Amino acid sequence: MSLRYSFGGDEHLFVECSDAMSLDAFFMSLEMTKVIKEAGIKGITEICPANASFQIKFDPDVIKPDDILKEIRAIEHVAEVMEPVLKTRIIEIPVFYEDPWTHATMMRFRERHQDPTSTDLEYAARVNGLASAEAFIQAHSSAPWFVSMVGFVAGLPFLYQMVDRPRQLQVPKYLRPRTDTPRLTVGHGGCFSCVYSVRGAGGYQMFGITPMPIYDPEQKVSYLKDFMVFFRPGDIVKWKPIGREEHDNAVADVDAGRFVPRMVDVSFDLNAYHADIDGTNAKLEGVLHGR
């Protein structure tokens, strides 16, 4: 995989692993950031991984831009020969699809949408050649998703679907961004799903809402007491469709400190995944549910 380098001012080096998103590009980014951290290069102050790229912040008074570029290029080969195996976790995220809150929001902003006469789910189904919103929900929730980046706003995960490229769901963003999106909305733009960690502006299509908080700066949520951000790059997510009653019960459990996300530690082998995508996904779901 050929890396592309560019400078951002005199304090940042930006490295692109690919001009297209893929798990291979993500793993290369992950391995490169790991190798760079272990190299202990003087002058590096921060490494920020992204979907298929990463950025290095450095102190130009300690190391010159040309010198850091030489250092990084010199260790490319180390990442290229590393085994693409990741110790991670698979997490079940409940989703109330077609909920009333995102529906009310989408109706307020229909003039900004490609098709004001359809809901976001109906539109997403049509552009993906699926017969109905229900068929799209099935396609969205049937296979796991890989968290490739966390950011843009605090705690927001970008998720990449773990299926072969012809089956990947692709949905364009709104023509113009909304000025409002409910907190914990499950959205989709391009090839990425996301969960809006806070209420705010957004342009992704809105499919539903999860009762499970993923960001808590006050750290009052029981499973966020150690760290305010739930997701981390490399997490694997399996959506679980739920109804209104299950949603409301989960919200009550969160408020009472009883809610515990279903998650299991797993080892993910990228080569084994490429050899048998559906088989790997079935094994991951089996581990999640103790089968």
1 has a pLDDT exceeding 70:
no
pLDDT tens digits for range 43-56 = 999 998 888 899 99
d(CA 190, CA 249): 32
Q: Rounded to whole angstroms, how far apart are CA atoms 96 and 91?
A: 16
pLDDT-derived band of residue 76, with 50, 70 and 90 as boundaries? confident
Task: Show the domains of the chain with their CATH numbers.
Answer: 4-82 (3.30.1360.40), 87-288 (2.40.100.10)
Q: Please check the confidence at residue 81 and state whether its pLDDT lies above 80.
A: no
Q: What is the pLDDT of residues 2-38, one digit of tens each?
A: 899 999 988 999 999 988 889 999 999 988 998 999 9
Among 208, 205, 284, CA closest to 242: 208
pLDDT of 18: 87
- The whole-angstrom separation of Cα 189 and Cα 50 is 16
pLDDT of res. 15: 94
Kindly report the pTM of this predicted structure: 0.92
**Alpha-carbon gap, residue 202 to 182, rounded angstroms:** 10
Q: Which pLDDT band holds residue 182 (cuts at 50, 70, 90)?
A: very high
